[in-house]
Chain A
């Protein structure tokens, strides 16, 4: 069975400071990893994903995440945050279930609060 752990439920950070949102996963097979972002009163949006190849993946708005297989982690980072980054961030892991269908497990989310 797969699982996702997001250790921090809330992360306050000052504007223009760096931030890291932590995600650890467990799975018995090879997995694909995702970060989703949820802005207030909206659904979740795919931010970035790791499928294979380079372990460092980037999004269009300056976030990046690094897949670390030995530490089973997929932490999300941004070198300088903006007020508009205030949102909840969900880490997710995906694999194929016994029926041959995609199964996605989400973490409990981390609320990023950017302070002016």
Chain B
């Protein structure tokens, strides 16, 4: 257990479904991130939240909708996904977004399969 918990670990959803991924950290970190990891592709940064405010959206399609109600929780709401959205979705946090020396703490990821 790394301190960053992601649920569910596995999710299978149809293209017309609506589901949400949850990420929770109680490390006292102030920055949280969503990454997409697809087979044979580099890690893709999707969204960044610093002190609960979204500071980066890397041209992610609107069928992915993030939510950060507080510094400890991050959600990724999914609707009308496509099969190519199947991937491992990783959440990460870092202590202070203005500091370089801490690195990221990652969750174990949610393996998403869109059918």
Distance in angstroms between the alpha carbons of A73 and B6 in the assembled complex: 33
Q: What's the least CB distance linking A58 to chain B, in Å?
A: 16
Find chain A residues with CB under 8 A from B2 CB. Answer: 43, 45
Which secondary structure dominates where chain A touches chain B?
strand
**Chain B, Cβ-Cβ closest to A95:** B100
A46 within 8 A of B: yes
A102 at interface, CB cutoff 8 A: yes
CB distance from A106 to the nearest CB of B (A): 5
Residues 79 to 115 of chain B near chain A (Cβ within 8 Å): 90, 92, 94, 96-101, 103-109, 111
* CB < 8 Å neighbour of A49 from B43, B48, B99, B103: B103
Q: Chain B's nearest CB lies how many Å from the CB of A81?
A: 23
- Complex: chain A residue closest to B111, CB-CB: A41
B residues whose Cβ falls under 8 Å from a Cβ of A: 2, 4, 6, 31, 42-43, 48, 50, 55, 90, 92, 94, 96-101, 103-109, 111
Chain A interface residues toward B at CB < 8 A:
31-32, 34, 36, 41-46, 49, 51, 90, 94-96, 99-102, 104, 106-109
> Top 10 A-B pairs ranked by shortest CB distance?
A43-B106, A101-B97, A44-B106, A32-B100, A106-B43, A108-B42, A46-B103, A43-B108, A51-B101, A94-B100
